[in-house]
Amino acid sequence: MQSIHVDLASSVPQGQMDLSLLFFGKEICAPCHSWGPGLRDSYIIHYIHSGRGVFSINEETYHLQAGQGFLIPPGKVVYYRADEQDPWIYSWFGFRGLHAKSLLQRSHLSSEHPIFQIDNRQETLGPSSFETYHDELMEISRERMRDVLGLSILYRLMAELIQYSPESSAQSKPSVSKEIYVHQAIEFIENNYSQKISVMDIAHFVGLDRTYLSGLFKAQFGSSLQNFLLEYRMNRAAELLKNKELSISDISRSVGYNDPFLFSKMFKKVTGLSPRNSRITLES
């Protein structure tokens, strides 16, 4: 059995919340090599280059082979095992981030539907890069900007999952889905969080009732739109605290709060520390 694992967590800026590649690897499995039952704290995509094996989640077992892959969602108990006669070779990619779930939903991947198929014979979709993503990541793993380069490859991987998803392959007519409304709202927040925007502003931009839009966020992230906006701002503030040249008031204004006392109160509500104490902790 030969295994290669590269951890990128140390090169990923702490607090990065949109999407981040944490680690990747490749394994030439011995017969019956297995992992689990157990759970992970990030999303992991496995792609099978050759061989066979089984993957189990939610009391369902899938028999998989070359050209297929499976998703391990965070917090779900899974088990997988290589075949005794024809053990698989697979590569894996671990990631997390605010956009991870919405991108996977566009790929029609979830704990209920964790399997995907990459068919290199579909000329209309173009050749797959799943065979080479691991090699590309290995090539850039020693580069100074490996976190940015790795993220670009991760976005390509996600785009290919969407491209090969059943809905995309069938070339069905695109429609405005709940996920698209959420995606539009997140983009608006990303572009305007430093302004004095409200939930009403976000709902008006998307074109939905604020209560309904908040319900979509609750269903997808387990948090209301108001809390999502607050946590997004405070996460950005936590990143800005690393810059010693910025005062607390500077940071407050940079995330949409003209009142630094209200900002400090909200920051402590989300993180458990005041901005000043958080900065002291970062410096220690």
- d(CA 196, CA 217) in angstroms, rounded, equals 20
CATH topology of domain 2-169: Jelly Rolls (2.60.120)
Higher pLDDT, 181 or 8: 181
The region of weakest confidence among 36-45, 70-79, 144-153 is 144-153
- d(CA 154, CA 148) in angstroms, rounded, equals 10
**Residue ranges, CATH 1.10.10.60, the chain:** 178-283
Structure tokens at 282: 């970062």
Apex 200 CA angle, 196 and 206, nearest 5: 105
- d(CA 159, CA 126) in angstroms, rounded, equals 13
Strand partners, 173: none
Could you give the C-alpha distances from 283 to 21, 134, 160, 277, in angstroms and in order? Answer: 26, 36, 41, 10
The region of weakest confidence among 33-42, 101-110, 154-163, 221-230 is 101-110
pLDDT digits (tens, 9 = 90+) for 168-220: 444 444 445 778 888 889 989 988 999 889 999 998 888 888 898 999 998 88
Which residues are CB-neighbours of 267 under 8 A, at least 6 positions away?
234, 237, 273, 274, 275, 278
% of the chain residues with pLDDT over 70? 87
138: helix, strand or coil: helix
CA-nearest of 237, 99, 219 to 155 is 99
Q: What is the pLDDT of residue 6?
A: 61
Question: pLDDT band for position 126 (50/70/90)?
Answer: low
**Residue ranges, CATH 2.60.120.280, the chain:** 2-169
Q: What is the pLDDT of residue 146?
A: 82
- Alpha helices by DSSP H, listed for 74-172, are 100-106, 133-140, 146-163, 166-169
C-beta neighbour count of 161 within 10 angstroms: 23
Higher pLDDT, 283 or 25: 25
* Mean pLDDT across 73-92: 94
158: helix, strand or coil: helix
Question: pLDDT band for position 60 (50/70/90)?
Answer: very high
CA-nearest of 157, 82, 81 to 118 is 157
Q: What is the pLDDT of residue 124?
A: 47
- The CATH number of 178-283 is 1.10.10.60
The answer on pLDDT for 30 being more than 90 is yes
Query: Where is 43: in which H helix or E strand?
Result: strand 43-50
